Amino acid sequence: MNGHVPAVVQGIYDEVVQRNRGETEFHQAVREVLESLAVVLDRHSEYTEMKTVQRICEPERQIIFRVPWQDDRGEVHINRGFRVEFNSALGPYKGGLRFHPSVNLGIVKFLGFEQIFKNALTGMPIGGGKGGSDFDPKGRSDAEVMRFCQSFMTELYRHLGEYTDVPAGDIGVGAREIGYLFGQYKRITNRYESGVLTGKGLGWGGAQVRTEATGYGAAFFADAMMKVRGESFDGRRVTVSGSGNVAVYAIEKVHQLGGRAVACSDSTGYVVDEKGIDLEVLKQVKEVERARIGAYAERVPSSSFVEGGSIWDTPCDVAIPSATQNELDGDAASVLGRNGCRYVVEGANMPATPEAVRVFRDAGIAFAPGKAANAGGVATSALEMQQNASRDSWTFEHSEARLEEIMRGIHARCHATAEEYGSPGDLVLGANVAGFLDVAEAVHAHGLI
Ligand code: NDP
């Protein structure tokens, strides 16, 4: 571990590495949280005695299963499915499903671990979990995606339930996939259990603003960070990596708040549009046609496409990395700093490497960790569960107002906690400590389980 940490915290980290060998992203996520917790353990000896941190670092249950399916040509494929039910101290396990070829147990565990604290920060009654598969939906027909989702759910359904475990979307899992997953769950269980999945279509139990929530939420969070410094989005240049669910709606809200998003990306490269990203074109290319980002530049004359390369070379005032983990390293962070970037707000989960976070700290760049800044998605999922439970359906305006209130509340809590624990302005410490305290108190109250 880096920096000065007491032996007890170092010991916990060493044990996690030892018993979860090779799961580097999980180690990284645990280390980041542990580095913040020394100040908490100093004040709460009961958490050391009862090994509360060690218990939170060990998932309650890990499920790994085979997912066989047939493509349109009749060829058989075998993928691997995962669901890590990490912690249920605050409520049923809650967290998305990711379909991407890079998915493995270590990635699912890093995401599930982060989710515990993120969910706590929302103030909603939800525990932490995450799942997914190494299935690659890219280039697959709707029928293939449907067959995969049906096979995946045929195993997973027995572990789910509105009071047990409630998945949602993540990379590669959007409204289409949630629809197929819900259909198969309903068919197998013979239950119309709306609260078992979130991110559902609006016509069948979904909630207004769930699609927009993570991106909108990250922009609201950034706005709150600026307000504390007497600043705003007005006229600011913003770079948003990715062009999926989080990125598209982060851009939309940045524009509504007066900023100008000038660049976005996918895994093939990035586009720069000095006039500001045209959302209508972006949505058509990415959401409707599921095409590559280069197609945007072919249609918008004011833009250019850079194949490969680093989107972080684009000068900006605010960066919102919204693609994937470890996409912004120390070198990219230095470039951002040299180009005058003042705020970095994680739309994705853990997109900034530890080196990048150190660069931001040293350069005085305000930084928001994903577990706080992208909590709007899961918070709105919890609102979806609330509406499902009461068979109610709120308006867009009401739902968005609730989201904004929750995001500004999370920011205020992280900010205040950082101050209370002697690190003013350190939202990483504020988020980790505030989230941990909620979870630890409940874990402690439930006895040794
Ligand atoms: P999507 O699948 O909708 O979009 C992901 C985007 O990131 C795509 O543009 C994709 O490009 C790009 N991307 C993925 N992997 C890479 C890579 N290795 N290199 C470059 N670009 C990449 O996912 P989401 O928008 O839902 O999720 C994005 C991030 O936000 C993830 O970290 C996710 O965990 C996090 N998140 C999502 C929430 C949600 O509600 N959806 C909630 C909280 C966090 P390409 O298509 O070329 O792969």
In the reported structure, the alpha carbon of residue 161 is separated from the centroid of ligand 1 by a whole-number distance in angstroms of: 26
| The two three-digit tokens of residue 301, written as one number | 């004359």
Dihedral-angle region of residue 238 (phi above 0 means left; psi in -120 to 50 means alpha; beta otherwise):
beta
State the Cα angle at 270 between 264 and 276, rounded to 5°. 40
- Residue 269's Cβ-count burial label (10 Å; 0-12, 13-18, 19+) is middle
- Does the beta carbon of 132 sit less than 6 angstroms from any atom of ligand 1? no
- Does the beta carbon of 381 sit less than 6 angstroms from any atom of ligand 1? no
Outline where DSSP puts E strands in 374-448: none
Residue nearest to atom 4 of ligand 1 (CA): 244
At 83, which amino acid appears?
Answer: R
Residue nearest to atom 37 of ligand 1 (CA): 170
Write out the H or E segment, with its range, that includes residue 345. Answer: strand 343-345
**Size (the chain), residues:** 449
Residue 2 is predicted with a pLDDT of 53
SS3 state at 130: strand
Q: What's the CA gap between 24 and 382, in Å, rounded?
A: 30
Residue nearest to atom 15 of ligand 1 (CA): 324
94 given a catalytic annotation? no
- Does the beta carbon of 214 sit less than 6 angstroms from any atom of ligand 1? yes
> In the Cβ-directed half-sphere of 230, how many Cα atoms lie within 13 Å?
0
Residue nearest to atom 38 of ligand 1 (CA): 170
Bridge partners, residue 242, by sequence? none
In the reported structure, the alpha carbon of residue 284 is separated from the centroid of ligand 1 by a whole-number distance in angstroms of: 17
Q: What's the CA gap between 113 and 370, in Å, rounded?
A: 12
pLDDT digits (tens, 9 = 90+) for 337-377: 999 999 999 999 999 999 999 999 999 999 999 999 999 99
Contacts of 141 (CB under 8 A, 6+ apart): 72
- Does the beta carbon of 243 sit less than 6 angstroms from any atom of ligand 1? yes
Pairing of strands 93-99, 128-133: parallel
Pairing of strands 165-168, 260-266: unpaired
Q: What is the DSSP letter of 97?
A: E
In the chain, the domains with their CATH numbers are 7-57 (no CATH), 61-192 (3.40.50.10860), 213-373 (3.40.50.720)
Residue 433 is predicted with a pLDDT of 98
263: phi then psi, degrees, rounded to nearest 5: -150, 145
SS3 state at 336: helix
- Among 109, 118, 130, 371, which one carries the catalytic annotation? 130
Pairing of strands 343-345, 366-368: parallel
What is the position in ligand 1's atom list of the atom closest to the CA of 347? 30
Q: Which of 94, 111, 285, 324 to mutate to test the pocket of ligand 1 (most atoms within 8 A of CB)?
A: 324
- Note the helical H segments in 104-141: 105-121
CA nearest 330: which of 370, 358, 367?
358
Residue 7 is predicted with a pLDDT of 85
Buried b or exposed e, range 381-391, using 16+ CB within 10 angstroms: bbbbbbbbeee
Tell me the C-alpha to C-alpha distance, in Å, between residue 337 and each of 318, 344, 424: 10, 10, 21
Could you tell me the sign of the dihedral formed by the alpha carbons of 196, 199, 201, 206, in that order? positive
Give the DSSP letter string of 8-34. Answer: HHHHHHHHHHHHSTT-HHHHHHHHHHH
Q: What is the mean pLDDT of each run of 10 residues along the chain (449 residues)?
A: 72 97 98 96 95 98 98 98 98 98 98 98 98 97 98 98 98 97 98 98 97 98 98 98 98 98 98 98 96 98 97 98 98 98 98 98 98 98 97 97 98 98 97 98 96
Q: What's the CA gap between 48 and 91, in Å, rounded?
A: 23
Residue 325 is predicted with a pLDDT of 97
Q: Which of 98, 173, 246 to mutate to test the pocket of ligand 1 (most atoms within 8 A of CB)?
A: 246
Contacts of 58 (CB under 8 A, 6+ apart): none
Task: Evaluate whether 251 touches 216 at the Cβ level (below 8 Å).
Answer: no
pLDDT digits (tens, 9 = 90+) for 159-216: 999 999 999 999 999 999 999 999 999 999 999 999 999 999 999 999 999 999 999 9
Residue nearest to atom 23 of ligand 1 (CA): 171
- Does the beta carbon of 348 sit less than 6 angstroms from any atom of ligand 1? yes
In the reported structure, the alpha carbon of residue 93 is separated from the centroid of ligand 1 by a whole-number distance in angstroms of: 22
Strand order of the β-sheet with 366-368 is 303-307, 269-273, 260-266, 237-240, 318-320, 343-345, 366-368
Q: What's the CA gap between 246 and 328, in Å, rounded?
A: 16
Contacts of 295 (CB under 8 A, 6+ apart): 285, 289
Chain mean position to CA 23: 19
pTM: 0.97
- Does the beta carbon of 108 sit less than 6 angstroms from any atom of ligand 1? no
Task: Evaluate whether 349 touches 378 at the Cβ level (below 8 Å).
Answer: no
Q: What's the CA gap between 273 and 171, in Å, rounded?
A: 25
Residue 362 CB: number of other CB atoms within 10 A?
11
Residue nearest to atom 46 of ligand 1 (CA): 266
